[in-house]
């Protein structure tokens, strides 16, 4: 079971969240995805999930397609250029 946070840890966490809220840089879609994963894992810890189950959940959450995009066009073979040299 997850250990309860001390008052100092809660205060440090609150201050960190306040600093993050004061960011000047806008939050990107990737930031939102990472925050969602983080919040889900924290909730699972509070609910008493085992670390192995939490880890397996995180590993199953692949990056969205828009982060790792497929090539827009297929790579062409250079075989045609080699044939011209003969």
The per-residue pLDDT for range 56-77, each reduced to its tens digit, is 998 888 777 776 665 556 556 5
- For residues 74 and 81, what is the distance between their CA atoms, to the nearest angstrom? 17
Tell whether the torsion through CA atoms of 59, 63, 65 and 69 is positive or negative. Answer: negative
Sort residue 48 into left (φ over 0), alpha (ψ -120 to 50) or beta.
Answer: left
* Residue 73: predicted pLDDT: 60
Q: What angle do CA 18, 22, 23 make, to 5 degrees?
A: 125
Q: CA torsion sign, 57 to 47 to 9 to 34?
A: positive
pLDDT at 80 over 80: no
pLDDT score of 85 more than 70: no
pLDDT in tens, 2-58: 678 888 988 898 888 888 877 667 878 888 888 999 999 999 999 999 999 999 998
pLDDT of residue 52: 94
> Under a CB-based contact definition with an 8 Å cutoff, are residues 38 and 54 in contact?
no
């Amino acid at each position: 079971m997850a250990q309860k946070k001390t008052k100092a840890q809660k205060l440090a966490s609150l201050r960190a969240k306040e600093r993050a809220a004061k960011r000047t840089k806008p939050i990107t879609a990737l930031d939102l995805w990472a925050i969602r994963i983080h919040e889900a894992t924290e909730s699972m810890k509070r609910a008493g999930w085992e670390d192995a189950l939490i880890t397996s959940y995180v590993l199953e959450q692949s990056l969205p397609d828009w982060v790792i995009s497929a090539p827009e066009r297929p790579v062409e073979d250079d075989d045609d250029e080699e044939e011209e040299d003969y």
